[in-house]
């Protein structure tokens, strides 16, 4: 891989300034619309127009790895499973593949776990610079008592989580109670302290792309550092139309405030080719500045394995068995 490709695969990881938020601007929120048919036509062109091959594809896939929130959110999670996941986070690609690609070591963007697994994850990642993200606020439904949701954030921060993935109350969006959503998000943001907060919108349950765009904007006004599509537990998770709606809200917020807010698609992104399409969309809509873990993440548990298979194919010309690229 050439030096140019190496530079393409790596971008600065310095985090942008926190999003301080702004007062709720209802005139701006009400003005937000979404032309669903136009959005769907726009994203339908991406798979055919944005195809990268050879060393360029390998570079893009390595960049995708650096933007993965390697995730385990299962009822049978154990400290041992988290230890294996953290080992994979530290070394997501086999040494022989990196050597063949003439690439230095890479790591994933973060490890994402439930609260009880925060402390083991923090211990296993000590000294790596890889942050631990905790899902919180009654994940995935967000229907536990409000004071318990706030307390859950505070407990995860005390346990060492550097990022908190909160879930919003969908009823506020579905009922058009934007003030309630704003107030809720502000309280969650305050409870996070210095930890970055990702607002999970559960877009598959919001009813329309207009609701998705308005909820995105309100959460950013309330101080969300990232907006995220899904918990991964809904029947419909990340989609390209939802992504376009959300990243255009990010672009509008940045144009108005100068604050860069991150984006995280989650749920259902398991193939390397899908990751390339999402990266192409982010590059076109937000620019290269967003193609780094400080501003873009994939919420994924199986994506890494497929990317590693594609990298081995690039090196050897053959596809290997999945067990050669175990996730942990």
In order, the DSSP letters of 132-155 are EEEE-SSTTTT-S-HHHHHHHHHH
Which among 198, 228, 274, 306 is annotated as catalytic? 228
Output the pLDDT for position 322.
67
Output the pLDDT for position 264.
98
Output the pLDDT for position 6.
41
Output the pLDDT for position 97.
92
Closest CA to 123 of 97, 90, 146, 93: 90
Output the pLDDT for position 301.
83
Output the pLDDT for position 47.
80
Output the pLDDT for position 319.
79
Output the pLDDT for position 1.
45
Residues 158-178 have pLDDT tens digits of 999 999 999 999 999 999 999
Give the mean pLDDT per block of 10 residues along the chain (328 residues). 44 69 98 96 82 84 97 95 96 93 94 98 97 97 97 98 98 98 98 98 97 98 98 93 98 97 95 95 95 96 92 87 65
Which among 69, 88, 198, 264 is annotated as catalytic? 264
**What six digits make up the tokens of 236?**
């419909």
Give the residue ranges of DSSP H helices in 10-103: 26-31, 36-44, 46-49, 54-66, 79-90, 95-100
- Parallel, antiparallel or unpaired: strands 196-200 and 132-135: unpaired
Annotated catalytic residue 283: no
CA distance 97 to 210: 44
Domain that holds residue 255: 3-325
CATH of residue 309's domain is 3.20.20.70
Note the pTM of the prediction, 2 decimals.
0.93
Which among 165, 225, 274, 306 is annotated as catalytic? 165
How many domains does the structure of the chain reveal? 1
């Amino acid at each position: 891989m050439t030096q140019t490709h190496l530079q393409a695969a790596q971008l600065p990881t310095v985090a942008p300034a926190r999003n301080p938020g702004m007062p709720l601007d209802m005139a701006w929120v009400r003005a937000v619309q979404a032309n669903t048919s136009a959005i769907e036509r726009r994203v339908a062109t991406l798979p055919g127009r944005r195809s990268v091959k050879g060393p360029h594809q390998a570079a893009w896939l390595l960049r995708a790895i650096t933007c993965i929130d390697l995730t385990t959110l299962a009822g049978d999670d154990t400290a041992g499973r988290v230890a294996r996941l953290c080992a994979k986070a530290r070394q997501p690609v086999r040494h022989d593949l990196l050597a063949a690609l003439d690439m230095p070591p890479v790591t994933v963007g973060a490890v994402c776990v439930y609260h009880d697994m925060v402390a083991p994850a923090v211990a296993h990642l000590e000294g790596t610079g890889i942050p631990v993200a905790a899902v919180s606020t009654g994940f995935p439904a967000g229907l536990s008592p409000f004071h318990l949701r706030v307390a859950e954030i505070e407990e995860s921060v005390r346990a060492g989580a550097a990022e908190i993935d909160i879930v919003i109350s969908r009823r506020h969006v579905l009922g058009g109670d934007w003030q309630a959503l704003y107030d809720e998000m502000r309280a969650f943001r305050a409870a996070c302290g210095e930890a970055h907060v990702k607002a999970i919108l559960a877009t598959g349950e919001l009813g329309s792309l207009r609701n998705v765009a308005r909820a995105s904007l309100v959460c950013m006004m309330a101080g969300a550092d990232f907006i995220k599509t899904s918990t991964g537990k809904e029947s419909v998770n990340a989609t390209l139309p939802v992504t376009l709606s959300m990243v255009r809200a990010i672009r509008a917020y940045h144009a108005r405030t100068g604050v860069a807010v991150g984006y995280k698609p989650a749920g259902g992104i398991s193939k390397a080719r899908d990751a390339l399409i999402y990266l192409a969309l982010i590059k076109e809509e937000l620019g290269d500045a967003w193609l780094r873990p400080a501003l873009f993440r994939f919420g994924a548990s199986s994506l890494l394995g497929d990317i590693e298979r594609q990298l081995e194919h690039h090196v050897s010309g053959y596809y290997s068995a999945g067990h050669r690229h175990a996730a942990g």
